[in-house]
């Protein structure tokens, strides 16, 4: 279900960009359309006991969706406790929307040597 | 912690017969014997009567890493593998005093996995199964979920000790207390408890320590070690016979440090790569062909014989 949501969001985002371009060319209220653009969704894969990408920079409001592709369970657990997944079995997903700027490091509590970081920056 | 009383019928002739048949086509258990100090493995359960098993010796069995709840390609039937091992244990010519399970009882720390594990482990014909948690048993809320099923003495800790047949046993929890980017650790509270626990034990008492993750650094990039194991080893050094039984890495490895012998065990779920194995890169389940799986899963029998420094160990694959 999360996967479906994430796919839909990506699709509507692409649609939105195309629409904004088309409408922008026609000089019709581009500002309003831009404001209505859906928040960006970014995927991070968990595979072979690593987050991919391990380090990522996104804009505030971005939703990150982690998907575990391993046969081994992993978690996505921030060091500042601002977000924490349950144990993710194979193909399970976890998502978190980053609203404020900052650097958010996280680990897998099952394998604490697995580390990742999300940099949230206005772009 | 740790232990529970077995439930269910102990003597069921029909069942025994069935188990004997199973034992005839595979050998699954490794028997530990402690005679006078040092556990020594006795050999495969299919290898006939053991030679080390003096009447006074204490014999027990180690199983590990059952990962109940795992159902992926590397082993779609972990319950079947556990039951296979149980049949072997129940068919041993000399019944073990108890069984120890060195962690990763469950795969995802889910209550139904702990529940099923406890139910199946009760099929072993021993009075007690002493368990310790692995990192797969503490995923969402530390040891809380695990302790709901395996806190026999109700002390609310996953570490404990007990004495049996003149041997002092210590069960540890070394799957928590990690810091970002490091290996898991025992933690100061547990080390302090261990120090106090050992203070009343004489140097000549054989010690057997159970810890899920190896108490020596097997391969740090994969977290195959315990960050503060040196502190635990320092507490154990004065004893004449110390045997450390670990799981976690799903394969048999051994290290000897003075009087301390450390042994990892096979899993009953799936194999893992050798430490840092070239071309693999991560410690994930290794899928082998169906006919090969039984050769890389297995159990261990130990015997402590009086007057012997080392425990007798027998690591036995489920099949092969």
Predicted confidence (pLDDT) per residue in A61-73, tens digit? 999 999 999 999 9
Residue A18 and residue A4 in contact, taking contact as beta carbons nearer than 8 Å: no
Q: Check whether B14 has a pLDDT greater than 50.
A: no
| Structural domain A39-123, CATH architecture | Sandwich (2.60)
Q: Check whether B136 has a pLDDT greater than 70.
A: yes
pLDDT exceeding 70 applies to what percent of chain B?
82
Sign of CA pseudo-dihedral B268, B164, B236, B199: positive
pLDDT grade for B308, boundaries at 50, 70 and 90: confident
Q: Check whether B47 has a pLDDT greater than 70.
A: no
Give the H or E element holding residue B231. Answer: helix B229-236
Q: Check whether A7 has a pLDDT greater than 50.
A: no
Q: Which residues of A touch B179 (CB under 8 A)?
A: 112
Evaluate whether residue B153 is within a structural domain: yes
pLDDT at position B49 is: 44
CA-closest candidate to residue B181, choices A63, A51, A87 = A51
pLDDT grade for B55, boundaries at 50, 70 and 90: low
pLDDT at position B33 is: 60
Q: What's the mean pLDDT in B207-235?
A: 96
Closest A-chain CA to B281: A48
Give CA angle at B213 (B118, B196), nearest 5°: 90
To the nearest whole Å, the CA of A63 is away from the closest chain B CA by: 23
The ipTM (two decimal places) reads 0.79
d(CA B302, CA B98): 11
* B137-185: pLDDT as tens digits: 999 889 999 999 998 677 889 999 999 999 999 999 999 888 777 899 9
Q: Check whether B205 has a pLDDT greater than 50.
A: yes
B284/A49 touch (CB, cutoff 8 Å), yes or no: yes
A109/B107 touch (CB, cutoff 8 Å), yes or no: no
pLDDT grade for B32, boundaries at 50, 70 and 90: low
B198 touches chain A (CB under 8 A): no
Residue range(s) defining the domain that contains residue B191 = 13-275+287-317
CATH number of the domain that residue B52 is part of: 3.60.21.10
Evaluate whether residue B2 is within a structural domain: no
| Rg of chain A over all Cα atoms, to the nearest angstrom | 16
The CA-atom distances, in angstroms, between B84 and each of B22, B62, B77, B93, B318 are 8, 14, 11, 16, 7
pLDDT at position B54 is: 57
pTM of the model: 0.81
B135 touches chain A (CB under 8 A): yes
Looking at residue B74, what DSSP letter applies? T
Q: Which residues of B touch A79 (CB under 8 A)?
A: 180
Measured in residues, chain B has a length of 320
In the stretch 67-106 of chain B, residues with CB closer than 8 A to chain A read: 70, 72-74
Sign of CA pseudo-dihedral A65, A70, A73, A78: negative
Helix axes B78-90, B111-121, angle to 10 degrees: 20
pLDDT exceeding 90 applies to what percent of chain A?
66
pLDDT grade for B277, boundaries at 50, 70 and 90: very high
Q: Check whether B17 has a pLDDT greater than 50.
A: no
Q: Check whether B2 has a pLDDT greater than 90.
A: no
Q: Where are the domains of chain A?
A: 1-38, 39-123
Q: Report H helices in A1-123.
A: 2-25, 30-35
Q: Which residues contact B199 (CB under 8 A, 6 or more apart)?
A: none
Residues forming beta bridges with residue B32, ordered by sequence position: B60, B302
The CA-atom distances, in angstroms, between B107 and each of B68, B136, B274 are 6, 5, 21
Considering its fold, how many domains does chain B have in total? 1
Best of A87, A88, A116 to disrupt the B interface by mutation (most B CBs within 10 Å)? Answer: A87
Q: What is the mean pLDDT of chain A?
A: 79
Best of A47, A54, A70, A72 to disrupt the B interface by mutation (most B CBs within 10 Å)? Answer: A72
pLDDT at position B34 is: 57
pLDDT at position A68 is: 98
B107 touches chain A (CB under 8 A): yes
Evaluate whether residue B7 is within a structural domain: no
B178 touches chain A (CB under 8 A): yes
Evaluate whether residue B226 is within a structural domain: yes
d(CA B91, CA B27): 10
The CA-atom distances, in angstroms, between B231 and each of B38, B192, B223 are 22, 10, 18
Q: Is pLDDT larger for residue A84 or for residue B12?
A: A84
Size of interface A-B (CB pairs under 8 A): 60
Evaluate whether residue B6 is within a structural domain: no
Q: What's the mean pLDDT in B83-108?
A: 97
Q: Check whether A19 has a pLDDT greater than 90.
A: no
Evaluate whether residue B234 is within a structural domain: yes
Q: Which residues contact B9 (CB under 8 A, 6 or more apart)?
A: B15
d(CA B33, CA A83): 48
Q: Of A30-39, B16-25, B289-298, which gets the smallest average pLDDT? A: B16-25
Evaluate whether residue B79 is within a structural domain: yes
Q: What's the mean pLDDT in B56-66?
A: 94
């Amino acid at each position: 279900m999360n996967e479906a949501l994430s796919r839909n969001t990506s699709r509507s985002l692409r649609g939105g960009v195309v629409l904004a371009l088309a409408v922008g060319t026609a000089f019709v209220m581009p500002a309003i359309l831009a404001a209505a653009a859906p928040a960006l969704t970014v995927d991070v894969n968990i595979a072979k006991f690593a987050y991919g990408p391990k380090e990522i920079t996104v804009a505030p409001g971005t939703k990150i969706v982690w998907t575990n592709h391993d046969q081994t369970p992993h978690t996505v657990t921030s060091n500042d406790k601002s977000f924490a997944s349950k144990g993710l079995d194979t193909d399970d997903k976890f998502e978190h929307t980053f609203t404020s700027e900052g650097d958010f490091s996280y680990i897998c509590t099952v394998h604490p040597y697995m580390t990742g970081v999300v940099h949230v920056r206005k772009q | 912690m740790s232990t529970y009383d077995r439930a269910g019928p102990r003597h069921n002739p029909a069942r025994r017969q069935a188990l004997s048949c199973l034992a005839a086509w595979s050998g699954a258990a490794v028997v530990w014997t402690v005679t006078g100090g040092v556990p020594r493995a006795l050999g495969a359960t299919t290898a006939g009567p053991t030679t080390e098993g003096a009447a006074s010796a204490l014999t027990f069995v180690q199983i590990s890493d059952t990962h109940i709840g795992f159902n992926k390609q590397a082993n779609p039937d972990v319950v079947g593998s556990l039951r296979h091992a149980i049949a072997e244990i129940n068919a041993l010519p000399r019944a073990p005093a108890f069984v120890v399970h060195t962690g990763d009882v469950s795969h995802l720390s889910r209550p139904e996995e702990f529940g099923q594990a406890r139910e199946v482990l009760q099929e072993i014909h021993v009075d007690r199964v002493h368990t310790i948690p692995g990192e797969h048993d503490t995923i969402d809320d530390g040891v809380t979920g695990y302790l709901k099923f395996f806190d026999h003495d109700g002390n609310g800790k996953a570490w404990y000790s007990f004495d049996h047949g003149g041997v002092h046993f210590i069960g540890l929890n070394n799957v928590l207390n990690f810091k970002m980017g490091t290996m898991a650790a025992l933690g100061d509270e547990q080390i302090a408890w261990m120090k106090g626990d050992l203070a009343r034990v004489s140097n000549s008492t054989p010690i057997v320590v159970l810890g899920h993750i190896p108490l020596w650094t097997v391969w740090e990039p994969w977290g195959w070690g315990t960050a503060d194991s040196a502190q635990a080893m320092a507490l154990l050094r004065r004893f004449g016979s110390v045997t450390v039984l670990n799981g976690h890495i799903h394969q048999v490895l051994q290290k000897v440090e003075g009087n301390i012998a450390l042994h990892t065990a096979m899993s009953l779920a799936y194999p893992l790569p050798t430490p840092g194995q070239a071309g693999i890169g991560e410690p994930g389940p290794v899928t082998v062909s169906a006919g090969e799986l039984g050769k890389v899963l297995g159990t261990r029998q130990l015997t402590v014989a009086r007057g012997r420094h080392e425990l007798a160990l027998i690591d036995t694959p489920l099949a092969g």
